[in-house]
Structure 1
């Protein structure tokens, strides 16, 4: 069979309304009906959130946020907060379809990680990150260093277990759950005083995830997720976001016994495991050999070793963008593509 990629799905109409029909909250003398029901303007300040071992306190909604990762950027855009975004960084793919207008006028500070000085030049009053490596000693800057200049920071709960930072030197001890992503959405919505938009986004993702998996029967098929690099391929370990996709869709991750999110392995190991299906990262960054989907397929089908894989011989590929294999709102786009693949398989 040929590669089948489900069409990109834009954010649902209800979210479009939530993102464009609600402006930034304004101070009012008396609580509105919306605020009383938990809508816009209902966050009470000062707001304190326990975030990955750090206490974050805000006296008001941030006005200028720098987002250090595409994942957090697209959450902010989906919440209709593009007017608050002073800069973005670390992109693996084009912006999520449907969010192009939101992204159009926002400065990109760097395609990858920016320097601390570049971030400060954007004059932020708040920092968000999806991966803890940006907020570590060898990253953009530590959270303490940002705090010294009066800038609070927020790290996605998908990248921590308590105060253990996964992409900051830690290793997961349990499978990532989608609820961590929903927590991130709700907390960012509360921070920016748009809680009803956060609930709308979560509800939409939940509905799409349910629909994507309805009638899907993967029957425990084994799968390997290949993110990047033809020399020493980075594959999905047993506890990260891609492993969560496998679990949710009823597939068995061939590298479930590996704790790291994206361990580097050898092709001999992949061939030995001989997964039924290969999920291939369709990355647009083109930083490493095999980032692009076409390059991955060419390598798999021409290499004397990998060409013997049953999944290669039968072209059982599922193409996912890099952001769909990372903890982000795009997990549901990944589920939709996986669901479509298996629905077509079951129909054959």
Structure 2
């Protein structure tokens, strides 16, 4: 397995809960369809965050930058290739109880040090955010290249954003994984299943164009989320994104923005305790009509952290709440 570098290592990125770093991801797909680990379609080149990575065979020792990405690999039928995981920003160093046998926690820190990852000897590091690969005392692209490992960033959460991502980002990721594993037919079938689920979720809303705002409360401060995956939820469901024109994907809400905001429905991101997050928002914005009229719902951050299938899971939960609010 070889790696082709086409740009400099990404600049440092501050990884904040709820911060979506948008980017781009393209692939040169294999032209033949074959079973798992068949080498007929190789070599294949898949791009991620502006870099090209060449694959001579399917990965067999994969380390996940967020263990929740395993759901997508399982859906493709290649979950057995995962040998290690990095815990997410909200896991508090605790591995999930249902982690498959033989899969170890490589790092309890979301930004992993280089040594444990190198020791795990992956042939692919499947990241959930390019901030994991900035390499300032931690893991870097160069470290991976030094052991012959490739990298791929799920959700196009790249250090150099290229605008809001749509639900197409999910399908692109799965197509790219299908190329990496030489399983294009399985990837196509999974994408069709997910597209059908998204279409059904949109249909359940009966044409609603409700104006929705995605917010997060941290230390009493309110942050607006306009970028991915919020942008994917609103676009795919036909809703109106209150913060579609936000200059960054995630930003603190100033007083002027708070006073001008009048969404039909508010989704407040939370981890663990949904009602506590809703209460925190009510305390921070007590005069917001959506708060006083009980039009605030929780959005579970953990659902979407691994990207891929998890984004569609989160979208269905959003649609269910919008449907409830419209009754």
Per the normalisation by structure 2, the TM-score is: 0.77
Shift of 1:199: 2.1
Q: State the alpha-carbon separation in 2 of the partners of residues 45 and 36 from structure 1.
A: 10
Gap regions ≥5 residues in structure 2? 1-30
Contact 1:65 1:125 survives alignment (8 Å)? yes
Per the normalisation by structure 1, the TM-score is: 0.73
2:279 to 288, 298, 313: 298
Gap regions ≥5 residues in structure 1? 1-34, 160-164, 285-291
1:128 to 123, 126, 129: 126
Change over 3 Å in CA distance of 1:105–1:272 after alignment to 2? farther
Contact 1:39 1:195 survives alignment (8 Å)? no
Instruction: Please identify, of 59-68 and 35-44, the stretch whose mean Cα deviation from structure 2 is larger.
Output: 35-44
Q: State the alpha-carbon separation in 2 of the partners of residues 299 and 50 from structure 1.
A: 41
The answer as to 2:65 corresponding to 1:68 is: yes
2:84 to 87, 93, 111: 87
Instruction: Please identify, of 309-318 and 257-266, the stretch whose mean Cα deviation from structure 2 is larger.
Output: 257-266
Change over 3 Å in CA distance of 1:157–1:300 after alignment to 2? closer
Shift of 1:274: 2.9
Shift of 1:37: 5.2
SS in 2 for 1:341: helix
Tell me what 1:13 maps to: none
Change over 3 Å in CA distance of 1:131–1:195 after alignment to 2? same
1:64-101, Cα deviation, whole Å (9 max, x unpaired)? 1111124533322322323221211142578xxxx986
1:283-328, Cα deviation, whole Å (9 max, x unpaired)? 13xxxxxxx3222122233x2x512211111211232221445543
Change over 3 Å in CA distance of 1:230–1:325 after alignment to 2? farther
State how 1:236-255 maps to structure 2 within 5 Å. 236-237=225-226, 239-255=227-243
1:190 to 179, 187, 201: 179
Tell me what 2:74 maps to: 77
Q: State the alpha-carbon separation in 2 of the partners of residues 345 and 151 from structure 1.
A: 47
Q: State the alpha-carbon separation in 2 of the partners of residues 331 and 149 from structure 1.
A: 31
Contact 2:222 2:281 survives alignment (8 Å)? no
Tell me what 1:233 maps to: 222
The answer as to 2:117 corresponding to 1:119 is: yes
SS in 1 for 2:286: helix
The answer as to 2:304 corresponding to 1:320 is: no
Contact 2:45 2:55 survives alignment (8 Å)? yes
The answer as to 2:267 corresponding to 1:270 is: no
Change over 3 Å in CA distance of 1:42–1:314 after alignment to 2? farther
Tell me what 1:171 maps to: 161
Q: State the alpha-carbon separation in 1 of the partners of residues 220 and 181 from structure 2.
A: 43
Contact 2:201 2:237 survives alignment (8 Å)? no
Q: By percentage of residues, which structure has more strand? A: 2
Tell me what 1:206 maps to: 195
Paired positions, count: 290
Change over 3 Å in CA distance of 1:104–1:259 after alignment to 2? farther
Q: State the alpha-carbon separation in 2 of the partners of residues 58 and 135 from structure 1.
A: 19
Contact 2:117 2:139 survives alignment (8 Å)? no
Contact 2:303 2:313 survives alignment (8 Å)? yes
Q: By percentage of residues, which structure has more helix? A: 1
Tell me what 1:16 maps to: none
Change over 3 Å in CA distance of 1:280–1:328 after alignment to 2? farther
Shift of 1:264: 2.4
Q: State the alpha-carbon separation in 2 of the partners of residues 205 and 93 from structure 1.
A: 26
1:182-224, Cα deviation, whole Å (9 max, x unpaired)? 1211221221233333222212111111111114146433221
Shift of 1:254: 1.8
